[in-house]
Amino acid sequence: MSQLEQHRRGARALIIMLVCLAVYTFADLASKEWALDALSRENPNRSPVCEPDASGRLSYQRLPLPSRSIVDGVLRATYAENCGAAFSMLRSAPGWLRALVFGVAALGAAIVLPVMFVRGSGGRPFAGAVPLILAGAIGNLSDRVRHGFVVDFIQVDPKLFSYPVFNVADIWLAIGVGLLLLDGFKNPTPSTPSAPSTPPAPVT
């Protein structure tokens, strides 16, 4: 039996990963639906989705309602529409560039991570990171397909410091990337062994 087959993750691990993926994705999508209903309302004069006006500004598709406190002095629920990536990165980039980056990233995550998971790559931190990263990618991609933008609503209280508004999918992605880095430190890629100085004796 090869070393790859010995470390291949079984059906139980795959089921646990898929259950976690479903729970994380549901939590993200459900929280965004709450934000749409509770923190915004219809905009009768909305402009094309994620298309800047003559002054270069992006108009909201829905009108924000007053913010709500989540944790007094720490977190607020504030409606925002993000045309960029996690934490508003690439927000002002051209539409074709955003579509290319988001599409490649989502496709890569959806294919590469599950294959690496099943093959047994990494340790426990890697296994924990896979459903988090997939859920974050699926949640934000779902928003882009349905709305043309990503719904953000979690805001660090501006009295503490200025930080982009984010969502649950962004939290999953941040934790997932952190676990991947931890896994890299705990399970470094072994170096390729050097060739023996003398060739082995032929088998007779």
pLDDT band at 50 (very low <50, low <70, confident <90, very high): confident
Please give the angle made by the CA atoms of 46, 47 and 53, to the nearest 5 degrees: 135
DSSP secondary structure letters along 96-121: HHHHHHHHHHHHHHHHHHHHHHHHT-
What confidence category does residue 191 fall into, taking pLDDT thresholds of 50, 70 and 90? Answer: very low
3-class secondary structure, 67: coil
Q: Which residue has the higher pLDDT, 32 or 194?
A: 32
Evaluate whether residue 67 is within a structural domain: yes
Q: What is the pTM of this model?
A: 0.79
Asked if residue 68 belongs to a domain, the reply is: yes
**Would residue 61 count as lying in a domain?**
yes
Q: Is residue 53 part of a domain?
A: yes
Question: Is 202 within the bounds of a domain?
Answer: no
| 137 assigned to some structural domain | yes
Please report whether residue 127 resides in a domain: yes
Task: Give me the catalytic one of 28, 143, 170, 183.
Answer: 170
Q: What percent of the chain has pLDDT over 70?
A: 75
> What's the sign of the alpha-carbon dihedral 108, 114, 115, 117?
positive
Question: Is 199 domain-assigned?
Answer: no
93 vs 56: CA distance, rounded Å: 11
Clarify whether 157 is annotated catalytic.
no
The answer, yes or no, to whether residue 96 has pLDDT greater than 60, is no
Q: Given the residues 143, 152, 157, 183, select the one marked as catalytic.
A: 152
State yes or no: pLDDT of 3 exceeds 50: no
Q: What's the rounded mean pLDDT across residues 157-180?
A: 92
Cα–Cα distance for residue pair 149/147, rounded to 1 Å: 5
Termini Cα distance of the chain: 25
Q: Using one digit for the tens of pLDDT, what is the confidence trace for 4-23?
A: 444 789 899 999 999 999 99
Total domains in the fold of the chain: 1
Residues spanned by the domain of 157: 7-186
pLDDT at 169 over 60: yes
Q: How far apart are CA 34 and CA 168, in angstroms?
A: 12
Q: What is the distance of C-alpha 65 from the center of its chain?
A: 26
Cβ distance 142 to 149 under 8 Å? no
**pLDDT tens-digit map of 114-137:** 899 999 999 999 999 999 999 999
- Mean pLDDT, rounded, of the chain: 81
Residue 112 burial by Cβ neighbours in a 10 Å radius (0-12, 13-18, 19+) = exposed
Q: Among this protein's residues, is 170 annotated catalytic?
A: yes
How far apart (Å, rounded) are the C-alpha atoms in residues 122 and 17?
Answer: 14
- Residue 85 is predicted with a pLDDT of 53
